[in-house]
Amino acid sequence: MTESATEIARCSFCGKPNPAVRRLVAGPGVYICDACVTLAASVVDAGPTASAGPSTPVWASLSDEEMLGHIPRVASHIDQAEADLRAWVQELRRRGVTWARIGESLGVTRQSAWERFSGEE
């Protein structure tokens, strides 16, 4: 992509913006770039690891400054997931799906869903 390309989203895994990657695939509230897909495929292809425990957290190799720099990217994923959720709910409402069904799907009451997503006060 060119340098003038507008940033729309970032990879949820490495944090690179869409102009910096070849392809960015959208999921429900997350994005993954082609490089991270390749890395994930190589991890899956490697098979089970020798350790039975969980893998080392990503922050184990990061300095405090690197972690502080990463926090805004983590927060932006929350914002993006919320925006995506709102878009899904708006589409369901456009299709005539009731607040009761939307609330049930989210594990909340009809009124809670309405209060969160209706845009009315």
The contacts of residue 110 (CB under 8 Å, 6+ apart) are 98, 99, 100, 102, 103, 104
**Residues in the chain, overall count:** 121
Per the domain annotation, does 60 fall within a domain?
no
In a domain, 76, yes or no: no
58 located within any domain: no
- The pLDDT mean for the chain works out to 84
Task: Give the number of domains in the chain.
Answer: 2
Q: Which residues contact 23 (CB under 8 A, 6 or more apart)?
A: 33, 34
Evaluate whether residue 11 is within a structural domain.
yes
Place of tokens 């994930």: 40
The upper half-sphere exposure of residue 44, i.e. CA atoms within 13 Å in the direction of its Cβ, equals 6
Enclosing domain of residue 106: 85-121
Q: Is residue 28 part of a domain?
A: yes
Reported as a single tens digit per residue, the pLDDT across 10-54 is 888 888 888 999 999 988 778 899 998 998 888 888 876 655 455
User: Does residue 91 surpass a pLDDT of 90?
Assistant: yes
In a domain, 68, yes or no: no
Tell me if 91 is assigned to some domain: yes
Residue 71 lies in a domain: no
